[in-house]
Amino acid sequence: MVTGTPTDDDVAAFCRALGVPGLVDAHVHFMPPQVEAKVWAYFDEEGPLVRRRWPIRYRWSPDARLAHLRALGVRAFPTLVYAHKPGMAQWLNDWAAAFADEQRAGGHQDVVETATFFPEPGVDGYVAQALDRGVRIFKVHVQVGGFDPRDPLLEPVWGMLSDAGVPAVVHTGSGPAPGAFTGPGPFAEVLDRHPGLTAVIAHLGMPEYDEFLTLAERHERVHLDTTMCFVDFFDGAGPQTTLARSLAPRLKALQDKVVLGTDFPNIPYPYAHQLEALTRTGLDDDWLRAVCWDNGARLLGVSAESGTAATTR
């Protein structure tokens, strides 16, 4: 088990202690180089949605980052591209498809193909194309995109995702800074209209944890990911441990709906620290196994035998 001040070299031991074949990380980013450069510059400049020094730990080449994830034992992960303006999503989706194809051609089945969307004319068409292509997960960033998830243009999209059972990772919480349509209210209305939607609330809905946990309790197919939750970066170990323990009873009750997420590579601490932070809940190994492997594997269609992402191609 990862305890104390772990390094990434300790992750394999963590997995062995839990008895899992590795990790399924539902919140990993790979982006086109020009987009990634702009994202990293935003963090460097402490942009208004960051508001703090944020040194990116894994500012490496894509090949180096892929090698590191595989060395850690991360057996499946998406690329989580996201559009923040009109005319961007289709291009990002094409890039993500080519990236996943390139990895498969090289013998790696661990990249779970990702797509995104934005409220714009034609959104239903390119989302339908992505679903037909076999995309296994979508990413939607309500905070950065500054759009209303209730936009009428997105109604057919939420319906298609619900019917297909394909999950969408949705950053709709108000952390690290509120946006025009963040918070539980707008997305709760989406879920009320599409109760079958498989949604993964990023960051456990930080900082509106209680409200987003309630959505997961209320809706059968709503999940939450652990990205950047309970880590020292926010307020230090003591307050984060207190927060983790306070949420632990509800997280235990939602054991089958919590999935590992990390925000790799855009994190200001070692990957292993996210795993350490999960142990601050005080929850048992069954919960950790579910979060680190079982739930993500089920959600993303990962083979327990091979630990590789299934593909419909």
The model's confidence at residue 309, banded by pLDDT at 50, 70 and 90, is low
Among candidate residues 134, 62, 131, the one with its CA nearest the CA of residue 103: 62
Supply φ then ψ for residue 264, to 5 degrees: -55, 135
Which SS3 state, helix, strand or coil, does residue 89 take?
helix
Three-class SS state of 117: coil
Coil vs helix vs strand at 237: helix
Cis peptide before 32 (omega within 30 of 0): no
**Both tokens of residue 245?**
């323990």
Integer Cα distance of 162 and 193 in angstroms = 11
% the chain with pLDDT above 70: 96
Cα dihedral value 249, 255, 260, 263, nearest 10: -50
Q: How far apart are CA 117 and CA 123, in angstroms?
A: 7
Q: Is the pLDDT of residue 74 over 90?
A: yes
Residue 228 has pLDDT above 80, yes or no: yes
| Domains of the chain from N-terminus onward | 8-300 (3.20.20.140)
Q: Which amino acid is at 123?
A: V
Give residue 308's pLDDT.
55
Q: What pLDDT, in 10s, does the model give residues 17-66?
A: 999 999 999 999 999 999 999 999 999 998 887 878 899 999 999 999 99
Cβ 16 vs Cβ 80: under 8 Å: no
C-alpha distances (whole Å) from 231 to each of 27, 49, 212 are 16, 18, 19
Bridge partner residues of 23 (DSSP): 74
Looking up tokens 């040194």 gives 55
Average pLDDT, the chain: 95
Q: How far apart are CA 53 and CA 161, in angstroms?
A: 36
Give me the sign of the Cα torsion angle 312, 93, 272, 61. positive
Instruction: Give CA–CA dist 247/233, Å, rounded.
Output: 18
pLDDT on residue 47: 82
Cα angle at 68 between 63 and 69, to 5 degrees? Answer: 100
**Residue 33: what are its φ and ψ, rounded to 5°?**
-55, -40
pLDDT at 313: 35
Residue 177 confidence (pLDDT):
87
Average pLDDT of span 185-212: 98
Q: In whole angstroms, give the CA distance from residue 208 to residue 312.
A: 36
Q: Which residues contact 14 (CB under 8 A, 6 or more apart)?
A: 1, 2, 6, 272, 275
pTM assigned to the model: 0.95
8 Å CB contact between 146 and 180 = yes
The reported pLDDT for the residue numbered 64 is 98
